[in-house]
Structure 1
């Protein structure tokens, strides 16, 4: 078997196997790491946080329309720009402490690498029964620096039959805002943090934290993918071993000799000389049967 393994053909196949198994193991490990919940973020003292010490939202999210990186979702960021009071809306069905309500969202125009872009900012929460008309809230004006939690855009998966009142949207989704606001958009949105320098207004309540908290639950889908890659790696090794063993058996000269010996002793092979004839008798004429021995 070692002689077979040292041939050029099997040396190349073995190198391919090692590369494939290494790739499968790395993919399995990567899926395993994705299945493990991230460690909770360190608590931030909002009473002492300074906007200058926080990452800029444009640096993290950009303005090209790409999704907010998963690793950046939930980070405390700062955004500087001017309020666009003509870009205000309410987001429906946002309960707070069991109370029905809505988010008040206003766009903050920030400067990106390709020009101005609009950043949706959740300025706060206001109580509102489901299906009620849109309320009027105080609008901010002028330049501002906002401190808040960066969040990924919500998926646009609301059924078509769900209809909201004028000025109310069912989700805070970039795909929906792109149809409502013609300007460039920063992907995702920012939830205003309750810092001492930020006030929600008379009608609004600041949210206590990001709407999506880490649950600490393991992602079983990624865990299944991880197990799948490890199974593939094991199957590749078993298949390689069986192919090598079979090839070595076919090319082993000792095994070939044993196979030839088996053919010689095979009862189904060609018959030997007839036992009823004497090998010392001279052969008869061609085409005649051998003489029978008569008893003396």
Structure 2
């Protein structure tokens, strides 16, 4: 075991084990949230600009945060998203582009206004909103800030313009007056739906634990890998040593014979 090749292999194992130990420590440092949000923090209504910024992913602790924002609706951009469940019943959302007020840079946030039980009802409501809500009249709404679901293409036998995910990126591709527009990656589920839509069921998010057990499990795995690196060196070196002893015994037996 003291031969140069085994010493070199031991040094290599030390390096590998050191990397594994660092990875385990990194996992542990991310396993415990030392500054978790206080209970009920998501239920306090906060201005949208204090919670997130355009183009930024929404961190987990802020998903479901109640926010308030003021802006105006873009009349041409009330669109329908299918596959939306309200209290376990599948239906449709009517969405809109809310152009945020009092900003130098044009900025919009996608809003789910309300739920409808059928495509016809949702389409009629979207058409009505183009005349009743669209325009320069400022509106202030409150809702929950939700992370982008990501776009997903519809089935081959479905209208290619059908939207089945609440994705601001997908909505942006169909919005008007979008030249040089900043857009929030997250969207707002409005608390109060305009008639004839139904309020979107959006209960408070579950309180998060300050301990991430999955990260702790990964840290234990890295510690096991580090120990295995040393065991592998020991096993290989011991096998080589035992093989040399057997060869010496065989040579000694042949000499005596």
Equivalent position of 2:124 in the other structure: 135
Q: Which residue of 2 aligns with 1:71?
A: 61
Tell me which residue corresponds to 1:119.
109
**Match among 184, 187, 192 for residue 186 of structure 1:** 184
CA contact (8 A) 1:119 1:190 kept: yes
Matched, 1:208 2:201: yes
Q: Distance in 2 between matches of 1:57 and 1:18?
A: 46
How is 1:90-169 mapped onto 2 (pairs within 5 angstroms)?
Answer: 90-110=80-100, 115-125=105-115, 127-130=116-119, 134-136=123-125, 137-138=128-129, 139-140=132-133, 141=135, 142-161=137-156, 163=158, 169=163
Aligned residues: 241
C-alpha root-mean-square deviation of aligned residues, in Å?
4.7
Q: Give me the whole-angstrom Cα distance separating, in 2, the residues matched to 1:120 and 1:175.
A: 9
Q: How much does 1:131 deviate?
A: 6.7
Pair member with larger Rg: 1
Task: Name which of 87, 101, 104 aligns with 2:77.
Answer: 87
User: Could you say if the C-alpha distance between residues 18 and 203 of structure 1 is closer, same or farther in structure 2, counting changes exceeding 3 Å?
Assistant: same
The normalised TM-score by structure 1 is 0.60
d(CA) in 2 for partners of 1:162 and 1:128? 22
Q: Which runs of 5+ in 2 are unaligned?
A: none
Higher relative contact order (CA 8 A, sep 6+): 2
Return closer, same or farther for 1:85/1:203 CA change in 2, 3 Å cut-off. Answer: same
- CA–CA distance in 1 between the matches of 2:160 and 2:10? 70
TM-score, with length taken from structure 2: 0.67
State the distance in 2 between where 1:90 and 1:63 align. 23
Q: Which structure 1 residue ranges, 5 or more long, are not aligned?
A: 195-199, 251-255, 272-296
CA deviation after TM superposition for structure 1 residue 180, in Å: 1.1
Paired residue for 2:53?
62
Q: CA deviation at 1:187?
A: 0.3
Mapped contact 1:58–1:186 kept (Cα < 8 A): no
From the two aligned structures, give the one with the greater helix fraction.
Answer: 2
